[in-house]
Amino acid sequence: MCRFAVSSVWALGLTSTHHTLVAFTALEKRAAIGLAAIFSTRMLGLFMILPVFALYAHDLQGATPLLVGLAIGAYGLTQALFQIPLGLLSDRIGRKPVIYGGLVLFALGSVIAALSEQISWVIFGRVLQGSGAIAAATIALTADLTRDAVRTRAMAAIGISVALSFAAALVLGPPLARWLGIGGVFWLTAGLAIAGMLVLAYVVPDPERSSVHREAQPVLDQFSGVLANPTLLRLDLGIFLLHLTMVSLFVVLPLSIEAAGLAAVDHWLLYLPVVLLAILAMVPFIIMAERGGRVKSVLLGSVVAMGAAMLGFYFFNDSIWILGVLLFVMFTVFNLMEAILPSLVSKAARAGARGTAMGVFSSSQFVGAFLGGLLGGLAHQSFGADAVYLVGATTAALWIVLAATLVVPANLTAHVLALGDHSVQESAGLQSRLLAIPGVEDAVVALDEGVAYLKVDSGRLDWSTLQTFSARA
């Protein structure tokens, strides 16, 4: 559930790769490493209970299947509610204060959950964990601390670290829960939040100044256009349904694995090979989609495979080998969608609106996580554990309809053009002059940032003419 935050992070590269590869400065390297560490440790703490909570929650007072599901997904609601507002707040009071505050809330929620003997207090702790929504502020700080030429790779480093944290959580969660108990896992999560604060204080540099980066963070006046875009709405609903399905799956999957004969402490023996194989398996499909021009076919096929896998869980969850195969399919689809959907959002968003589009997209996935826990718990309590798998099959059927009607956006590249002083002084008509350059399909001039945000067709772009507008010319 790399994404969960973050799914979105690696689609946030801010400039095209036309220029010669530029090395990181020492400061940029510190920023990328430090912020990736903060992001990944927070995600690790959130994800570690996914593979184990359903197995140990019965020890909590008042635990019911519905409340277990709610505890698993509760963080998603507050994460969705606060992610964009806290990102906007960081424009006013600074990035680091918002990130410190978010980590404090995350640590406090973890401590409350660790001390709780009643599931209602665990739910409250998870709600607090989610309210420390630092994703938007962290991405904005990354943009503040990196140049256009290296920002893509800094964002990619964060995205990769989040993906690895999800894999690590599935592997580490079961043995840690066995040795430390669920309370111990939450204490460890609180420790990870404190470690994140230390990294922020001693590793991540302070930016010389913070500014709005339209390609990296939400901007209020762009929301109406983003929400009115039918392609973006379909992609938002797609990530919503994907995370609803995955979180609902973990409401009962650990129970099925244990019932199939694998002890709780040994669940990592199943997760580890399945996750590694799934990462390898998605690569040819990404190549087929991006380079082969078969995005829609890959998307539709993946959703069909997800629905078939959920039906497989319903009918064949008594065999550990079949569970392993079905998990392999699910994780392959999940990883694949986590790569393809943000890429499509990036292509569908107008120039200069990608940060806002990704903010809405990310919030959609967190709402999906919340409802996945809620609906999974409700189905488990009302109709039995196997019924939860039918929830996933139903969401897949809905998604097939959305995917079938999706208009795949044109394969345009986002490019940030640093404007020269002469371009700023001659700002009248600058947008129309940029649009007149062959290959420039969309342009938004942001004089306050001294840049122009472009969507370009790299295959026919007149780079030499474009660079006459740049400070680098």
In a domain, 256, yes or no: yes
In a domain, 1, yes or no: no
- Report pLDDT for 415: 81
Please indicate whether residue 411 or residue 109 has the higher confidence score (pLDDT): 109
DSSP 318-377: T-HHHHHHHHHHHHHHHHHHHHHHHHHHHHHSPTT-HHHHHHHHHHHHHHHHHHHHHHHH
Beta-carbon contacts of 329 under 8 Å, excluding residues fewer than 6 positions away, are 305, 306, 308, 309, 312
Beta carbons of 155 and 10 less than 8 angstroms apart = yes
Residues 462 and 439 in one domain: yes
- As a whole number, mean pLDDT of residues 196-215 equals 85
| 429 vs 421: CA distance, rounded Å | 15
Q: Band of the pLDDT at 87, cuts 50, 70, 90? A: confident
- Report pLDDT for 367: 96
Residues 360 and 418 in one domain: no
For residue 322, pLDDT beyond 80: yes
Distances (CA, A) of 192 to 285, 410, 417: 35, 41, 38
Please name which of 223, 184, 148, 163 lies closest in space to residue 49, comparing C-alpha atoms.
Answer: 184
Mean of the per-residue pLDDT values for the chain? 87
Pick from 16-20, 36-40, 140-144, 214-218: least confident: 16-20
- Report pLDDT for 19: 46
Please indicate whether residue 183 or residue 20 has the higher confidence score (pLDDT): 183
Q: How many domains does the chain have?
A: 2
Q: What are phi and psi of 118, to 5 degrees?
A: -115, 140
Helix H or strand E segment including 442:
strand 440-446
Residues 369 and 447 in one domain: no
- Report pLDDT for 1: 53
Distances (CA, A) of 303 to 35, 177, 235, 299, 336: 33, 32, 13, 6, 11
pLDDT above 70 coverage of the chain, percent: 93
Residues 146 and 195 in one domain: yes
Residues 48 and 130 in one domain: yes
Count of C-beta atoms within a 10 Å radius of residue 239: 26
What is the tens place of the pLDDT at every residue in 361-394? 999 999 999 999 999 999 999 999 999 999 999 9
User: Which residue in this structure is represented by tokens 């995600």?
Assistant: 43
Highest mean pLDDT among 194-203, 287-296, 421-430: 194-203
In a domain, 472, yes or no: no
The amino acid that residue 64 corresponds to is T
Residues 395 and 426 in one domain: no
Domain limit, last residue, from 358, 382, 404: 404
**Host domain of residue 429:** 413-467
- Report pLDDT for 197: 96
Q: Band of the pLDDT at 20, cuts 50, 70, 90? A: low
Q: What is the CATH number of the domain that holds 421?
A: 3.30.70.100
Domain limit, last residue, from 354, 381, 404: 404
Residues 359 and 432 in one domain: no
Residues 337 and 439 in one domain: no
- Report pLDDT for 17: 40
> Please, where are the H alpha helices in 133-229?
135-145, 148-202, 223-227
- Report pLDDT for 428: 63
For residue 424, pLDDT beyond 70: no
